[in-house]
Chain A
Amino acid sequence: MDPRTLPRDAIDRLMTTPAAIAALPSRPPPAARMCEDLDDATTRYIIAMRPAFDDLRHATGQIASLLILQAAKGSATLPDYPMLAQTASACRQARDRVFSMRPPPAAAHHHAHLSCATVLITKAAERSLAAIHRPDDETTDAILSPLRAGWREMHSASRALPGFETVSFAATCCAAHSAGNR
């Protein structure tokens, strides 16, 4: 499935209806799938897709932080640097990387979620670039809606294969670093 070819109403459904994801192909294997179960093609897929996943993760954090600052402090206080253009550009690069990948069978489910996340978060980034300085509810909703839907897809992707963490527990005070976490 290529989300670029999804009709607009399908993308809108993804933004508003988490259950829409149930229509995606094949359920993932058990969440606790261990690395040793992965075939070489899937491992290569994970390595190739990690940067795109991280770019989308960063874009989500940046846009959400800017929305908080805008709401709490007013748009005049938003940092005026080319970060948003850079974010939108990173999302487009992620999109190119994701859609140019032909996933191996074991990664198909992950790729479907990551593709949806790419479309949605890129849309949020482009809308932010165009309009985040407009402090009205309609603008914020237009950014937040695809951002939230995209983040749900990121969570689904993170559960579909190992190596895609939405937050790293290895880099915090609570990092246990037991043998299984190395």
Chain B
Amino acid sequence: MADYSIWVLEYCYNPTHPVGSVLYARFNAGTLRLPFSYILMRGNGYNVLVDVGHNDKDYGHVFTERFNLQSWHSPRDVLKTCGLTPEDITHVIITHGHFDHMGATDEFPNAQFFIQERELQKWIWAMALDRRLRWISEATDPGDIMRVVDAARQGRLTCVNGPMDDVLPGIDLRPAFDTHTAGSQYVVVRNASGTTILAGDLVYQYENLHGGTPEDPYYIPVGYSQESQTNGVVSIAEMMKTVDFDYRRIIPGHEERLRDDFPSRTTELGLRISEINLTAEQASLVR
């Protein structure tokens, strides 16, 4: 069976993020520290990233400033703490097309990219709509789309249609259409030690998986969905079933408390690395 080490790599964070934008309808519930991360997997000769973070070169820098994001560092700096360069990354799986997940694609000149075709098709549709419907397309940065053109022209982009088993040995892609975005997907990693799901923004934090009552869990939507919250909750149910209802086997997209459940350290950049799984072939990045 294939085996991958898995690390969550923080690339910046918001120290005072409203709880209400993370957990559906939790208005006036204060703020929390919200990490922005991508995920590194190593094994079987592959260096795989799930998402790439936001680009700080263009409009992403406005995002960094406006939302008081702290310690933003480039993929080159973040990967250096893992002994890698962006050029070492062989595959990138994009969970969805928001700028904080798909903004830095041009940093990875050798990677093969995977994205659900539905995400692209829906952008084309949304950007043809009447101006009164512009909310639908506001979160997509055309600059991010343009950055992917070169990868596509070089034959480094795979447009996936629905589920895809063994995109790499032991790694499956599962669509969650019409949820957080139209073409969202999540990643199922079938390691020898058990299955781990990398949820992207289908799950922001653990509360989405247990509602704040792990002893009597229920699923609650993420704070923001462009499509159906109901579909989002159904996709959470599918994920939970896949991991035999052990919510700690699902890695949320913006969960600060990974540090409590997995070996973690803060790097010299002031950013957290959490070690979700470690195989015998890899050295620990947190010890």
Contacts and interface: CB of A to CB of B under 8 A. Distances in A.
Contact of A54 (B17, B66, B68, B131): B131
B123 A61 contact: yes
Contacts of B22: 173
Nearest to A175: B21
10 contacts: A60-B142, A68-B148, A151-B142, A151-B146, A155-B59, A168-B139, A169-B63, A169-B66, A171-B135, A181-B66
Main secondary structure on chain A at its contact with chain B? helix
Interface of A: 51, 54-55, 57-62, 64-69, 71-73, 79, 83, 86-87, 137, 140, 144, 147-148, 151, 155, 158, 165-177, 181
Contact of B131 (A51, A165, A171, A173): A51
Interface of B: 14, 17-18, 21-22, 34, 36, 58-59, 62-63, 66-68, 98-100, 117, 120-121, 123-124, 127-128, 131, 134-135, 137-143, 145-146, 148-149, 152-153, 157-159, 180, 201, 204, 222-224, 254
Given A166-B142, A173-B21, 13 more contacts: A64-B145, A65-B123, A79-B121, A158-B59, A165-B59, A165-B62, A165-B138, A166-B58, A167-B141, A172-B224, A174-B14, A175-B21, A176-B14
Given A64-B146, A72-B158, A155-B58, A173 B201 contact: yes
- Best-surrounded residue of B117, B153, B222 (most CB of chain A within 10 A): B153
A57 to B, nearest CB: 6
A177 B141 contact: no
A144 B223 CA distance: 36
A162 B99 CA distance: 20
Contacts of A144: 146, 149
